[in-house]
Chain A
C-alpha cells in the first residue's frame, strides 16, 4: 500500500503541534506524578542517543568516516562546542576522511 504524502505531512504537523500546545494551554500546574515526570525527563536523551548510534556510522558512504566523525563530535560536544559547531565539524570530518586514498566509497 502506498501512503499519501499529504496525510503523512498532516500527521507530523498535527502530532508535533498537539504535543507543544497542550501543556501550554491545559496544564497550569506542575506535573506531580513522579513516574511520568521522570519518564518524560529521560525520553529525549534515550531517543536521541538510540537514533544517533549506529545510524551515524551507516549514514556516510564509508562507515570509517561516520565512526570517526561520531567520536570527533562527541569530543567537541563534551568540550562545550555549540550545536552549529558540532554539526559542521562532523560534516567536515567526513568530507576529509573520504578524501583519503585508502578509504573506498
Chain B
C-alpha cells in the first residue's frame, strides 16, 4: 500500500520541525518575560520550567504566576486558569474537526497538551486531515524553547538591570494586544468589547470599593459580565467559527 506524502509520519514530523522554528523563536522571547513575572511571584527557575512545560499557555501561566505571588486561594487559581485559557476550548473544538475518525485516542490525549494559538494555527492549516506527527514536530522545537525561555527569564531576571526588567515586563501585554487587536480591526463588535473590557477594568481598579477585590476576581466578573451580555445581545452566527 502506498502512503500519500502528507501521511508519511517522518516527512510530516520534519515538516513540523521546520514550521516550528519561527514559533520557537517567538516563544523564547515571550517566555523570558514570563520568567520575570514568575521570579517576582517567588517561583523558582525549575518550578517555572515545569509550569511552562506542563501548561504551554502564555496568558494562563501569567495569571497563575501572578496569583501564586499573591498567595491566592486554590479555587481562585483554578477558576482564573479556566477563564484565562477558555479560548482553548474553542481551539480544541475546531481542531477536533481536523482529526480523522480513525485517529487513536493516544494522539488525542497527546495533542491535548499542546493546543496553543500558534500550534493550533499551523495544525489546522495542514492539508487534509491532520497527521499528528506534524504537530509533534512543531511541538518538539517550540515547547522546549518556551520552557527553557521561562527558566532563563527567572535566572537572568536576577542579573538584568532594573531598567531592562521594567522594559521586558510589558512584553506579555504586547503579545496579548497582538492577539486581540487584529480581530478588533476586522470586527467592530469585538473592538467595542475590547474597549468596554479595558474601560471596566480601569474603572474597577481605581474605584475604592471595587479595587479592594483581587485582580483575578475582578477580571472574572468583568469577563463573565461582558461576554454573557454580548452573547445574549449579539449571538455568534456559524460563519464566525473560522475567525478563531
Spell out A's residues near B (CB within 8 Å). 1-3, 5, 7-9, 11-13, 15-17, 19-25, 27-28, 30-31, 34-35, 37-56, 59-62, 65-66, 69-70, 73-74, 76-78, 80-92, 94-95, 98-99, 105
Report if B142 contacts A (CB, 8 A).
no
Among all A-B residue pairs, the 7 with the closest Cβ atoms: A21-B112, A90-B174, A44-B87, A77-B181, A23-B92, A38-B231, A95-B167
Contact A91 B33, beta carbon cutoff 8 Å: yes
Contact A8 B173, beta carbon cutoff 8 Å: no
Contact B99 A87, beta carbon cutoff 8 Å: no
Distance between Cα atoms of A78 and B236 in the complex (Å): 23
Distance between Cα atoms of A2 and B68 in the complex (Å): 10
Spell out B's residues near A (CB within 8 Å). 25-26, 29-30, 33, 43, 47, 50-51, 54-55, 57, 59-64, 67-68, 71-74, 77-78, 81-93, 95-97, 99, 105, 108-109, 111-113, 115, 118, 162-164, 166-185, 190, 193-198, 200-202, 205-206, 215, 218-219, 222-223, 226-228, 230-232, 234-236, 240-241, 244
When the two chains form the complex, which single residue of B33, B50, B85, B93 contacts A31, counting CB atoms closer than 8 Å? Answer: B93
Name which residue of chain B comes closest to A26, CB basis.
B96
Distance between Cα atoms of A22 and B96 in the complex (Å): 10
Q: Which residues of B contact A40 (CB under 8 A)?
A: 86-87, 89-90
Contact A73 B228, beta carbon cutoff 8 Å: no
- Given A19-B85, A49-B201, A70-B173, A87 and B29 contact (CB-CB distance below 8 Å): yes
Excluding A9-B47, A17-B113, A35-B235, 20 further A-B contacts by CB distance (< 8 Å) are: A3-B68, A8-B68, A9-B50, A12-B77, A15-B82, A16-B57, A16-B60, A16-B88, A23-B92, A43-B87, A43-B227, A51-B63, A51-B173, A51-B219, A52-B173, A70-B173, A82-B26, A83-B178, A87-B174, A94-B166
Distance between Cα atoms of A25 and B181 in the complex (Å): 31
Nearest Cβ on chain A to B27's Cβ, whole angstroms: 9
- Given A39-B228, A45-B190, A87 and B30 contact (CB-CB distance below 8 Å): yes
When the two chains form the complex, which single residue of A16, A60, A81 contacts B170, counting CB atoms closer than 8 Å? Answer: A60
Contact A73 B174, beta carbon cutoff 8 Å: yes
Provide 13 A-B residue pairs closer than 8 Å at the C-beta atoms, listed in order of the A residue: A13-B51, A19-B92, A20-B89, A24-B96, A24-B111, A42-B226, A50-B201, A50-B218, A52-B173, A55-B201, A73-B174, A76-B178, A98-B163
When the two chains form the complex, which single residue of A16, A52, A81 contacts B198, counting CB atoms closer than 8 Å? Answer: A52
Contact B89 A25, beta carbon cutoff 8 Å: no
Name which residue of chain B comes closest to A47, CB basis.
B223
Contact B59 A48, beta carbon cutoff 8 Å: yes
Nearest Cβ on chain A to B142's Cβ, whole angstroms: 12
- Given A5-B47, A38-B234, A48 and B180 contact (CB-CB distance below 8 Å): yes
Interface of B is mostly: helix
Contact A16 B50, beta carbon cutoff 8 Å: no
